[in-house]
Structure 1
Amino acid sequence: MSTTQPLLIELGTEELPVKALPGLAQAFFDGVLDGLHKRGIGFDRDGAKPLYTPRRLAVLLRAVDVRQPEQKSEVLGPYLNIALDAQGQPTKALQGFAAKAGIDWTALERTSDAKGERFVHRATKPGADTASLLEEIVREALAAMPIPKPMRWGGHDYGFARPVHWLVLLLGKDVVPAQVLGVRSDRMSRGHRFMHDKPVWFSVPGDYVEFLRGANVLVDPDERRERIVQEVTAAASATGGSARIDAGILEEVNGLTEWPVAIACGFEREFLAVPQEALIATMEANQKFFPVLDAAGTLSERFIGVANIASRDESEVRKGYERVIRPRFADAKFFFDEDLKQGLASMGEGLKTVKYQDKLGTVADKVARVAALAEVIATKLNVDSVVARRAAELSKNDLQSRMVNEFPELQGIAGRYYAKSAGESTDVADAIDEAYMPRFAGDAIAPSICGRVVAMADRFDTLAGGFAAGLKPTGNKDAFALRRNALGLARTAIEGEIDQVDYLYIHRAAAAALLAVRIKEASQQRLDGLYAQIEEIKQKGYVRRVAGQKPFDLDVKQVTRDDVDALAGQIYDFVLDRLAGYYADVGITDQQFEAVAHAVPASFFDFDRRVRAIAEFAKLPEAEALAAANKRSRNILKKVEGEVPSAIDASLFNEPAERELSEAVDAAVADTDPLLAQRDYVAVLGRLARLRPQVDAFFDKVMVNVDDSAVRNNRLALLKRLSDRLGSVAAIEHLSI
């Protein structure tokens, strides 16, 4: 008899929840394999994977040991000083331990550990047949599955994601007797609900995939997914276009079908006047259809539906798909037409009554703050500040539109259409849309510079407002998406190569947010034009001018520079926390990241250039030694009482090593000054790496803290000059382990 046999487990159910289906299948698969492994049952996992359709979860393994190996056990008993009395006779403790083990105490073995010698019972028993353990393994796998709200049916006290109707459990050619969730095991499965509504019998597990395919069920999700792509692509090509196949929608369709068949459909061209994003959202999210694009990548009047049946009358299926989508398109067209009549500018009036946050006023207040900041950033970047301000002022207006109310994911996108319709410039219209980018993890940043300006201004304000109002994320709670906004801000600056916007703009945003919170707390009312202008930072505080009035007397509402600095520091640290994960994804180590963070670069883009330069520097053979040397230098300098001398007197050198180091540092400073001005940090660190021989010689042969104060101070000055230059790109001492 073979020592291994193929294993098939299939649980047949009513239609499982589509979005949870892949996870449920993976959990069932992992649970079965964990159960086998825990019991020491060997199996061949090669090529095995979760198999599933909407009505079944399955595990198929081509070779599983038919029997457990010998089961060895070891139970520790009492220590000798407790187990034996003074005459060496067993105490009640030892007698009880032996009785529990079912043997005489003299048959017990002894072992030792750190506390001394003790008795131990070791036993070996034959392994069980795998077949006798499978029911328990399946039960454990089902119990461990992530099902937050199990369904109950038929008055039973057990539950599952959906009612269970059959169980296939085969080990080799034999059915393994079991009863799980109210059904007994068998070798009978079921084919397609409509195309093969009769039993499917398996002689051996190897028949599984092929026999179900013959019953119009593609149980392999990869095979089913490939078929969907092929069918949808071919159907779209036949219409003269190409299918837009979103990965998420593809996965959902894969979880909805057992025998997918693509159906080419169409709709009236008049609907193409509606923003194509709205039509695509309706087709994909609501109906799980695949839009068809023309050669220019624009939505056509065609789409592809995927049926779970090969119909004898495909035209009827097509009519059904077209009929279900038409009312939704008609609604979208109505919303769009009505919004165009209202106009984007007039939508903004409604923002004055929409609360943004209790302490931060209305959405209109936020827009005013963002517009003021966008204007300042645009000026700094030599971007048309009028365009940037206009885009910011209109960027939230579409929140009042009927279209966005129906399709929230079109925020900004709808605004772009309405802005173009209202005669706004292309730059303004595009920036309204791009202000939301990146919208999600992996999304691109705003492509235009004006869009980046508004996107950064909006995120500066969101972060500052969130922190000023006490909304810093905790655990999973992040109501204002501050984590996402922090990373979006940094990515826009880094990937957009925006070097001119430094951390001062965090302070500007913090000032505006603190003003909003303080005045809200003091007066509990919104003042028109409150954020019309934020003055420059002043030592005695931040002063706001209301248009046409004298500076407002803040009195108890005054925001001091210390307030702003503290808030800006919190925001800066928070953004860095987000960046740590961003860089970890591209292989930057924690030490490399911290080295740059401690240097506090002027901008996020400058931070990026430095951290990537440090990553290159860390690959050099000299890096570790120089990092250790700089760490040593910093430690020596920290212990100096008072100010560290800065002047170096060559006449006080009395060791060749210190003279050679001084000359080498002078040369390195002269070489790296222009490189630092050009921010060529890779070249700077490459040049500094050449200091290693002189640095090593200095620490090997020169004592810094000598009794002669003049010599000691001269050497400290040399160390400071060396350390400052080694730390000109980053605090490289953090690279030293």
Structure 2
Amino acid sequence: MTTKNLLVELFVEELPPKALKKLGDAFAGVLFEQLKAYGLTAADSVLTSFASPRRLAAHVTAVAAQGADKAVSQKLMPVAVGLDSSGNATPALLKKLQALGTDASAVAGLKRAPDGKAEALFYDSTVKGATLTEGLQKALLEAITKLPIPKVMTYQLADGWSDVKFVRPVHRLIALHGATTLTVKALGLEASNMTEGHRFESDVKAFAIREADSYEAQMLEQGKVIASYSKRKAEIAKQLAAAAAIVGGGVKAIDDDALLDEVTALVERPNVLVCEFEKEFLDVPQECLILTMKANQKYFPLLEASGKLSNKFLVVSNISPLDASAVIQGNERVVRPRLADAKFFFDQDRKKTLASRVAGLDKVVYHNKLGSQGERVERVRAIAKAIGQQLGGDALAQHADQAAQLAKTDLVTDMVGEFPELQGTMGRYYALNDGLSAEVADAIEDHYKPRFAGDDLPRNDVGVVVALADKLETLVGMFGIGNLPTGDKDPFALRRHALGVIRMLVERDLRVGLADLVAGATPVFGDKIQDASAALVDFIYDRLAGSLREQGYSAQEVDAVLALRPQYLGDVAKRLAAVRAFAALSEAPALAAANKRISNILKKTDGVDAHVSELLLQEPGEKNLYAAMQQVAPQASAQFEAGDYAASLQTLAALRAPVDAFFEGVMVNAEQADLRLNRLGLLATLHHAMNRVADLSRLAT
């Protein structure tokens, strides 16, 4: 079967830049999968997607003009329903055959085959393969329907009466199989071989694509468009590096893949230009300047080798004039008011201290059930003081209290009002301007950390304490009023806050218990919330379990360790390592099974006292187990208390033989009550000794 390459293009008005890459990948991907489902592609067919601000396109190699015929076996009905007692077709069967386009002559060729408990009739036929025009028509409509469109718009077609819903108005449709135009329709358009190039720099307004394989080259040569998203992105990155090298001094364009993606989606023919602004603006914190250049103007700031901002920046223009001076001057003129605003906000904000802004937080609503930001700050202060006292005494508590009191005050500054992303960052600058210590200033900036997966932790103890307090206040408050995450909805980022708490407790190995933290944070809310401590602790342990599984620990290992609800989360990694080492021992399966058996026995009794009377030990099996425990348990306990969990479990492995002998030779539920209770006490003592690191019964298969 001969094949040709296929090209499909939608020529549209400017697409939303932040969605362009997803739209391009989805359009090409669904189209390819649909063509494959219709049997129109080959095993070695290759898909290439194109996406620019004004087009979505797909190129597929080795596409057939018609799919191969398919043999189909279709179940009709049970034999008892389709044939009467004489073996003749029933009216029901004849009606079914008629619906399939055949008649009674097909009855003799029907096959019988088991279908569950009864036999059924099957009709074998050959379905003719879909033509490319038929298959592409359906594939194209499916690809359009499944596009991840962020916001649909409705627009009128050329007839003035009909309207269509799509991400942006579509003006042309191309469908080429080799050099042949296919007669398909979509969004009120009929396919042709005509498209348009760059809005300003194309050789002609519209031009014909000669064949599917010439599309990319023609778009570049005639249309002045780099149609491939990935190639355009690579070209921009290359030009950014080259422009930075021309500036010299070791400067580099800021590394921001999200910005690079967005700019790639804004231009069709990138041309990187070097611009600059007045050096006086460098007196403003560079985070402000970088943010306004990136967020508002889509510029690439240049950083010196030291990380300090340069007064030069790079612009990715969508045009390439012979004299670019007008473009450069225009961009410099546009950015200047933005930087001037930032300088004005910075200068004005520094006229008031952070301490003088604390009262202003009473006017900022935090949550209608939890009060203002001012009330929230007081709760965070109380939690921070308690944690600081526990971790570092009076000095840490005092510094944490001061940082917590001022941490939110930059929310009422002009700069953060204009650029909310700078909250915390500006607080640090203003704190240093007020003469506060670097320790407190850093904590003000860092108390939002970690803000996302992989983010840094606060850089000092004060920051850790305030960050813990801030996240705990959010978690306890939201759980206390019933604002819990559901499914994929988590408007208050409680999962992220929980992971932040976990990371600080684990990575800083803080000797403070999780349940104690939650219990200590609850009373500061007074009667504003219900006590949801137990649910919150479970939620945090669930987040921890998921995080540990993502790190490569097995569900069984995680379950065994977290079943004990270890209070010091910094110990969890050591416990997991110990469990993994224990599981590799030859004694592990038998001891895990024995632990499971002991757990089941103890569950059936009411509060057995973990006490053993040596005088009541009668059978050799219980005497030997008791003697072995007297020798092994103290050593294992000492190792556990020293934090050597692996050695503790290794020591306990020596109990395998006496434990096996006990269950082989001793009747636990003896008729004599004192013997029965003593044996249960022996098992309870054993259970306690063996399950301090982890619940070993969870390792039983």
**Counterpart pick for 2:138 among 122, 136, 142:** 136
Give the equivalent residue in structure 2 for 1:236: 244
Give the secondary structure class of the aligned counterpart of 1:50.
strand
3-state SS in 2 of match to 1:310: coil
Whether 2:461 is the aligned partner of 1:462: answer no
Work out which of the residue numbers 576, 587, 591 in structure 1 matches 2:556.
591
Which residue is equivalent to 2:417?
405
Deviates more, 1:197-206 or 1:367-376: 197-206
Residue-by-residue CA offset, 1:486-525 (whole Å, 9 max, x unaligned): 2222222112221235421211211112x1517xxxxxxx
Q: Contact 1:54–1:257 (CA<8 Å) still a contact in 2?
A: yes
SS of alignment partner, residue 123 of structure 2 = strand
Q: Offset at 1:131?
A: 4.3
Distance 1:589 1:100, change over 3 A: same
Match of residue 149, structure 1, among 148, 152, 163: 152
Q: Secondary structure at the match of 2:18?
A: coil
Inter-CA distance 8–605: structure 2 relative to 1 (3 Å threshold): same
Q: Distance in 1 between matches of 2:276 and 2:49?
A: 36
CA 87–10 in structure 1, closer or farther in 2 if over 3 Å, else same: same
2-structure distance, mates of 1:321, 1:569: 56
- Note the alpha carbon deviations across 1:611-649, whole angstroms, 9 max, x for none: 454455455565444333211210122223552452163
Q: What pairs with 1:42-121 in structure 2 (closer than 5 Å)?
A: 42-44=41-43, 48-101=47-100, 102-104=102-104, 105-121=107-123
Residues 625 and 282 (structure 1), Cα distance of their counterparts in 2 relative to 1, 3 Å cut: farther
Specify the alignment match of 2:338 in structure 1: 328
Note closer, same or farther for the CA distance 1:660–1:68 as it changes in structure 2 (3 Å cut): farther
The 1:127/1:411 distance shift into structure 2, 3 A limit, reads same
Give the counterpart of 1:494 among 494, 500, 506: 506
Distance 1:364 1:735 in 2: 49
Displacement of 1:253 in angstroms is 0.8
Take 1:701 and 1:127, find their aligned partners in 2: how far apart are those partners? 74
Contact 1:10 1:168 in 2 (8 A): yes
| Shift in alpha-carbon separation, 1:98–1:636, aligned structure 2, 3 A | same
- Deviation at 1:469? 2.7
Moved more, 468-477 or 252-261: 468-477
CA distance in 2, matches of 1:265, 1:149: 37
Does structure 1 residue 187 correspond to structure 2 residue 189?
no
Deviation sequence 1:108-146 (CA, Å, 0-9, x none): 332321241232222113323334421221122112222
Distance 1:626 1:3, change over 3 A: farther
1:366 counterpart residue number: 376
Q: Which stretches of structure 1, 4 residues or longer, exceed 6 Å deviation after superposition?
A: none
Q: Deviation string for 1:669-709 (max 9, x for gaps)?
A: 23322321222333333444454455455545655445565
Which residue identity is paired with 1:225? K
Q: Is the 8 A contact 1:263 1:307 kept in 2?
A: yes
CA distance in 1, matches of 2:267, 2:444: 39
In the alignment, what sits opposite 1:551? none
Which secondary structure does the structure 2 equivalent of 1:341 belong to? coil
In 1: Cα distance, 2:585 partner to 2:179 partner = 62
Output the TM-score relative to the length of structure 1.
0.87
The letter for the 2-side match of 1:717 is G
SS of the residue 1:503 aligns to: helix
Alignment of 1:187-586 (within 5 A): 187-198=193-204, 199=206, 201-215=208-222, 216-239=224-247, 240=249, 241-382=251-392, 384-500=396-512, 502-513=514-525, 515-517=526-528, 564=531, 567-586=532-551
Paired with 1:641 and 1:384, the residues of 2 have a C-alpha distance of: 46
Match of 1:163 among 158, 166, 169: 169
Q: For each residue in 1:210-235, what CA deviation from the matched residue of structure 2 results, as whole angstroms up to 9, or x when unmatched? A: 33333432222222222211211222
Letter matched to residue 214 of structure 2: D
The Cα of 1:380 is off from its aligned counterpart by: 1.5
CA change 1:56–1:80 in 2 (3 A) is: same
- Which residue number corresponds to residue 717 of structure 1? 681
With over 3 angstroms needed to count, the CA separation of the structure-2 counterparts of 1:6 and 1:425, relative to structure 1, is same
Gapped regions of structure 1 (runs ≥ 5):
519-562
Asked whether the equivalents of residues 442 and 459 of structure 2 are also in contact (C-alpha less than 8 Å), the reply is no
Q: Tell me by how many angstroms 1:427 deviates.
A: 0.6
Q: Describe the SS at the equivalent of 1:588.
A: coil
Counterpart in the other structure of 1:552: none
Contact 1:361 1:516 in 2 (8 A): no
RMSD across aligned positions (CA): 2.6
Flag the 1:68–1:304 CA change in 2: closer, same or farther, 3 A: same
**What is the letter of the counterpart of residue 537 of structure 2?**
Y
Question: Percent of counterpart pairs with the same letter?
Answer: 39
Greater shift in the superposed pair: 271-280 or 398-407: 271-280
Contact persistence 2:619–2:665 (CA under 8 A): no
Going from structure 1 to structure 2, the CA distance change for 1:676 and 1:351 (only over 3 Å counts) comes to same
**Take 1:306 and 1:623, find their aligned partners in 2: how far apart are those partners?**
63
Q: Give CA-to-partner distance per residue, 1:380-407, whole Å, 9 cap, x none.
A: 2215222111111101111111111101
Q: Tell me the TM-score normalized by structure 2.
A: 0.91
Partner secondary structure for residue 75 of structure 2:
strand
- Cα deviation, residue 161, structure 1: 1.3
SS in 2 for 1:303: strand
| Aligned-partner SS, 1:128 | coil
SS state at 2:348 partner: helix
- The structure-2 alpha-carbon separation of the partners of 1:641 and 1:584, relative to structure 1 and needing over 3 Å to count, comes to closer
Letter in 2 for 1:140: E
SS of aligned partner of 1:330: helix
CA distance in 2, matches of 1:140, 1:493: 49
Instruction: Give, in angstroms, the shift of residue 325 of structure 1.
Output: 1.0
Secondary structure of 2:265's partner?
Answer: helix
- Alignment check: 8 A CA contact 2:616 2:675 kept: no
Tell me the equivalent position of 1:541.
none
Task: Letter of the 2:237 partner, please give it.
Answer: V
Deviation of residue 601 (structure 1)? Answer: 1.2
How far does residue 409 in structure 1 lie from its aligned partner after superposition?
0.8
How far the C-alpha of 1:736 sits from its partner, in A, is 2.9
Alignment length (residue pairs):
688
Tell whether the 8 Å contact from 1:78 to 1:93 is kept in structure 2 after alignment: no
Name structure 2 gaps, 5 residues minimum: none
SS of the residue aligned with 1:151?
Answer: strand
Q: Is the 8 A contact 2:446 2:458 kept in 1?
A: yes
**Alignment-mate amino acid for residue 229 of structure 1:** A
Shift of 1:158: 2.5
CA contact (8 A) 1:5 1:62 kept: yes
Which stretch has the larger CA shift, 158-167 or 75-84?
A: 75-84
State whether residues 360 and 516 of structure 1, in contact with CA within 8 Å, keep that contact through their aligned partners in structure 2: no
CA distance in 2, matches of 1:82, 1:182: 48
